[in-house]
Chain A
Amino acid sequence: MSEITSQYLIDHFNFWVAVVLMMIGLYAMITKNNLIKKLIGMSIFQTAIILFYVSAGVKEGATIPILEHHVAETEQVEAGEHAEGHSTTKASSSHEVHAINPDDYSNPLPHVLMLTAIVVGVATLGVALAVSQVIYKNYGTLEEDEILAKIKAAENDG
């Protein structure tokens, strides 16, 4: 009973933390004044979404999605049971060892989708940081309110 309760909490703890991280990132993107801080918030928001998807692909008692064929193990089982003389159990157990059970492997589809999202996120961050450097070169600051004040002053002069 206690194991079931704690397991329920643990399964949902990942999603809770994903929501908390997403809100931290959204808060930073909206309220931070510095452009670099905004970009760090954007990266945290993106990681939270990836955490949500990868957590959805986790299975209970499953391992990494790489197939293993256990050929050597099957031969050992057959050899051992020949020596003991149980020929009927030998056939069924060797078939079970060879079968690929999808429940033994976690779902690789969310992993592959999120791999693309990570690469796209880093490309976005790189372009955004390059644009921030150009903004710093033109305006001499990275603070949003100072940049807006300078743009407004330039408009009034022109």
Chain B
Amino acid sequence: MIWQFDIIILIFLVITAVISLRVKDLLAASMVFGTYSFLICLLWAGMGAVDVAFTEATVGAGISAVILIATVYNTRRDSSD
């Protein structure tokens, strides 16, 4: 794959992972985790793993984000850490 693209996505991956674990708002954490899943889906499409990429796009960025938001909706939005 194009190595510049690879490095940019990997750096953004680490940034989004840290942000989703540091924000105190759980809804924001869920949305940033959805962004993380979409970025890693782009990375797999670039590395030639297209089957893994579209499974991650539907299941990781889609279903995971939706069930996280549903849980936050049914419980509390704020977190202590």
Chain A contact residues, CB within 8 Å of chain B = 6-7, 10, 13-14, 17, 20-21, 24-25, 28, 32-34, 36-37, 39-41, 43-44, 47, 50-51, 54-55, 57-58, 62-65, 106, 110-112, 114-115, 118-119, 122, 125-126, 129, 132-133, 136, 141-143
| Most chain A C-beta atoms within 10 Å of own C-beta, residue among B43, B47, B52, B68 | B52
Please give, as numbers and ranges, the residues of chain A lying within 8 Å of B60 by CB-CB distance: 47, 118, 122
Question: How many inter-chain contacts with C-beta < 8 Å in the A-B complex?
Answer: 128
| Count of B interface residues, CB-CB < 8 Å | 43
Complex contact B79–A62 (CB within 8 A): no
* 13 further contact pairs, Cβ within 8 A, besides A32-B21, A143-B80: A6-B3, A14-B6, A21-B14, A33-B81, A34-B79, A37-B81, A51-B40, A57-B49, A64-B49, A106-B47, A111-B49, A115-B51, A115-B55
